[in-house]
Structure 1
């Protein structure tokens, strides 16, 4: 019996070790938040902003990120330190990223720091589905798929410094896309509530907008400012 006790676990361990290795490599998540930010609201704060070295971005929503999330509202982060951001892997996308995913952080820079942060913190948690190039390409494709500024302007909601009802902003986006967005606000220099970020939920392939399993906390009042840029 003693000999059996010694040898019995070996085949079990042989099975469990590769299984454990697979589980630690695969990233599980339930959906993506695709987050777009309004540059006018990013800049109209006490902290202000800096335009990227390529110049002032267009008056349009810019990509903030594509973030893997869980249905309970929590999220994984920094999942693979062995897969750091590599600019050479997205060299063919850099021009588009500068236009659609511009940095507004100070001091003024090219955007590489911003993209590196987004890949290292969020992108590595979805690399079981999207490699580095695929991750940035997916975000650019989603930006092309949903023209948020045009959607709002079609509903008479313009970046003119006026106040609009939160309900009208959310309703315009839902009417156009079919799905309820998450809307996040920040405060301008005078402390006014302003439209800052819009969250759309995307399936785990990174390509299809879906109804959000959970919406982020928005911090918005019932009337929000849509500042110019």
Structure 2
């Protein structure tokens, strides 16, 4: 009888551990953002204190999601952003994950938001360092600007067919992306963000179980990133 009680106790503990550490999401959205479209809006933008970012897609985030289109957020207030845990990644993050929000900052507030809102919901799989490193590695894996330029789609202020942009990316990475648009200061619809789906471990691209809501126009502008102060040059 004592043995049976002991075995039952061990079984309950194992169930508890499995429940606590199993990931509570189905996949990630990995989102890249075009800085020219972020800045070319009525609200404008501010360069980070480290200087103007490169004319390249930057990381917005790595966001856990459920297959039904909902998502978890702010999952663990006891595990706040701690920059000392990612000190070896800061240089890469300044280049590949810059902030364009105003007022100008060094990026820490942006990264803190991404970790505390999204990263803490994946901490059973990715600790804080792994979360940021995994996201940076995904950016290196998907050279989005090169993919588009190879298909003749340039950040030159011209408009391109949305279907051509989607096809170029799908042909390069193997899976259809989701494109998010915004409006420039004149009301033109433009390429803003590109969503990829990644497995729950953050390692492999997958077919998206569900896309976010919203639509773009059939023809969208791809603005240059020639922004200086409060105006484009």
| Contact 1:184/1:217, CA 8 A, preserved across alignment | no
Residue 135, structure 1, aligned to residue 136, structure 2: no
| Contact 1:165/1:223, CA 8 A, preserved across alignment | yes
Residue 87, structure 1, aligned to residue 88, structure 2: no
| Mapping 1:100-115, distance limit 5 Å | 100-115=96-111
Larger Rg, first or second structure (1 or 2):
1
Runs of at least 5 residues in structure 2 that lack an aligned partner in the other structure: 1-6, 226-233
Alignment counterpart, residue 219 of structure 1, candidates 215, 223, 230: 215
Shift >4 Å, 4+ stretches: 11-22
More deviation in 209-218 or 62-71?
A: 209-218
**Partner Cα distance (2:199, 2:19) in 1:** 21
**Partner Cα distance (1:189, 1:96) in 2:** 31
More deviation in 210-219 or 143-152?
A: 210-219
**Partner Cα distance (1:26, 1:81) in 2:** 18
| Contact 1:45/1:187, CA 8 A, preserved across alignment | yes
Runs of at least 5 residues in structure 1 that lack an aligned partner in the other structure: 1-10
In structure 2, the partner of 1:74 is: 70
In structure 2, the partner of 1:176 is: 172
**Partner Cα distance (1:170, 1:198) in 2:** 9
- Secondary structure of 2:116's counterpart equals helix
- Secondary structure of 1:102's counterpart equals coil
1:175 deviates by 0.5
1:71 deviates by 0.5
| Mapping 1:146-225, distance limit 5 Å | 146-225=142-221
Computed over aligned residues only, the root mean square deviation of the Cα atoms, in angstroms, reads 1.7
Cα deviations by residue, 1:172-212 (Å, 9 ceiling, x for unpaired) = 00000010001000000011100000000001110111110
Alignment counterpart, residue 98 of structure 1, candidates 88, 94, 97: 94
In structure 1, the partner of 2:49 is: 53
| Contact 1:186/1:219, CA 8 A, preserved across alignment | no
* Structure 2 length-normalised TM: 0.89
**Partner Cα distance (2:187, 2:17) in 1:** 50
**Partner Cα distance (2:169, 2:14) in 1:** 46
* Structure 1 length-normalised TM: 0.91
Cα deviations by residue, 1:45-81 (Å, 9 ceiling, x for unpaired) = 0111000000000000000000000001100000111
**Partner Cα distance (1:14, 1:171) in 2:** 53
- Secondary structure of 1:194's counterpart equals strand
State the aligned residue count. 219
**Partner Cα distance (2:11, 2:175) in 1:** 44
In structure 1, the partner of 2:228 is: none
